[in-house]
A and B are shown apart, each in its own frame.
Chain A
């Protein structure tokens, strides 16, 4: 896994050095966006339980996007939730709040008039909380994490021309539509964690900063979606968002989370 990450990072890094100007169209501009998504996810924290909790997940992103011919800059905050169960009667609530910032440069070497490719970096920092009453004095926990990624994004632009057609005696009119299909992959470079110490409990005086801080594990994310641009420059997007995190062998315990969400977002053009 380390060799794979290093190879991919070097490949993307060397490509990003040759960044330059590319031809873009209706995707350019500044946008404010917000969305809501839901799906399913899983959670396992070996410090309290060897069981995997599975259940519904939800995400709410709110952010700013600046996309032009040279680069893509994004700043957003994302709230996530997972309500899981294990063994049919134990329940767990998992909440997290993240701040993400990314900067991707367009790569003309792999860009055509319809295909745009961007690489760069993304930084994410967040706090997550877990509540499970069956753990008694370990019912509540807080974790901290910060991730550095090598980001890659591929965007395919296409348009549906305006046309009229007839089926039997019914006439149909399809207006002109502009779309962008994207696939975005955040490849983990570094993951900084603040996890519980031995023996995994927050005492009554709420020593929430008494954590085990370490570098280890990885946080991997992908986003596959389609965006439809409106005449006024705004856009509507449906995307599949996958997020997984594992704290790895350096953790005193092990935390593994994953979520698969279908996200619907609205983009409001500012310029």
Chain B
């Protein structure tokens, strides 16, 4: 009898295995209201810059929630969700669908502060050097080096930098043009910075969200510049040119220059974007990203809305008519008269 009962028990277990759907959580609905509330909730729990952006996220819920209903088309839903995210005025906040990408264009917070064709025509000429991702040559009667780096996504090598620094070792200064550089790889920040410093200094602090409340962060972690003994260093004055299109990794590089004596910022305030974006998906399969870390100076200052330049300069049309890039000329004036 025991054997029969036990065999019946085993048979029952066999029948009910392989049925994970009995145990797993149900699929979440992909209707517009659920999708809206899912996205709002994710941002509410994980976004790192509510205090700096001066946004009442609860008010945003009421404002945009009133516009969402179950019969909303995908196009309309995307418009409302994208608009809701753009209330954060953060270039690292995007909504991605198969037909559109929402974005807040940080560069439009200020004037476009670079015309690269103008620089080629009036400063570099046609025989400039192209070393890795850098476009460079002597300017101002060979007194100053001009180096253009357009994206931190572009990789470079020690041999690239060694050529550049060897070529310009007798100059009085160097202009590193990072205007409209939208960012890229974090590792390139430290690598580029390492050529301009001989010591490991704290350059910024970072902290990541640790919980769902707007104030839940782990302790600040200090980040240091890196120094490599085997590379050539350039320790003469460096003017770093920036504008509103200098975003993300470029902003972080600019933040780091605040702690170094031989680098200074010329141009317009950067676009900010000092938080690391993190991604995910919505119930209707769209994807999103927004900033989940906070970056501060070693003194605790928050420059998420942009790092101001040491010397403010924007392109002036009358200067351009005479063949001058106002920002470059400001940098030259400082480098040669320091």
Give residues in A with beta carbon < 8 Å to B.
Answer: 1, 42, 44, 46-52, 86-87, 89-90, 109-110, 112, 117, 134-139, 152, 154, 183, 185, 197-201, 203-204, 220, 222, 224, 242, 244, 246, 254, 256, 258, 260
Contact = CB atoms under 8 A, between A and B. Distances in A.
A147 B6 CA distance: 26
Contact of B209 (A135, A198, A222): A198
Contacts of A51: 281, 283, 285
B289 A136 contact: yes
Given A51-B281, A154-B10, 5 more contacts: A50-B28, A50-B283, A135-B287, A198-B45, A258-B24
B89 to A, nearest CB: 20
Given A199-B292, A222-B17, A135 B279 contact: yes
A185 B281 contact: no
Closest 4 pairs between A and B when the two form their complex, measured CB to CB: A136-B279, A87-B285, A49-B281, A199-B46
Given A110-B2, A185-B17, A203-B208, A138 B279 contact: yes
Interface in B192-230: 208-212, 216
A1 B23 CA distance: 10
Nearest to B5: A110
Contacts of B25: 44, 46, 254, 256
Contact of A48 (B210, B281, B285, B293): B281
A134 B281 contact: yes
Interface string B268-293: 00000000111111110101010011
A136 B95 CA distance: 12
B221 to A, nearest CB: 9
Nearest to B287: A134
B280 A138 contact: yes
A183 B14 contact: yes
Interface residues of B, number: 40
B209 A199 contact: yes
B187 interface: yes
Interface of B: 2-3, 6-7, 10, 13-14, 17-18, 20, 23-25, 27-28, 38, 45-46, 98, 186-187, 208-212, 216, 276-283, 285, 287, 289, 292-293
Contacts of A47: 280
A199 B6 contact: no
Given A51-B285, A258-B20, A260-B18, A135 B280 contact: yes
Contacts of A48: 279-281
A130 B56 CA distance: 35
Nearest to B27: A52
Contacts of A198: 45-46, 209-212, 216
A244 B17 CA distance: 10
Nearest to A86: B285
Contacts of B292: 199, 201
Given A198-B212, A199-B208, A222-B18, A137 B277 contact: yes
Contact of B24 (A86, A197, A246): A246
B23 A90 contact: no
A204 B295 CA distance: 14
A90 B20 contact: no
Contact of A242 (B17, B210, B216, B278): B17
A254 B23 CA distance: 13
Nearest to B212: A198
A59 to B, nearest CB: 15
Nearest to B216: A198
A183 B279 contact: no
Contacts of A42: 20
A224 B285 CA distance: 36
Contacts of A117: 6
Contact of B187 (A152, A183, A204, A224): A204
Contacts of B293: 203
Given A220-B17, A246-B23, A260-B18, A50 B282 contact: yes
A165 to B, nearest CB: 33
8 contacts: A50-B281, A134-B287, A135-B278, A135-B281, A136-B289, A199-B278, A222-B14, A224-B14
A248 B283 CA distance: 20
- Identify which of B2, B277, B281, B292 gathers the most chain A CB atoms within 10 Å of its CB: B281
Contacts of A254: 25
Contacts of A183: 10, 14
B14 A201 contact: no
A221 B283 CA distance: 29
B278 to A, nearest CB: 5
Given A183-B14, A244-B20, A260-B18, A199 B45 contact: yes
A183 B9 CA distance: 13
Contact of B6 (A50, A90, A110, A260): A110
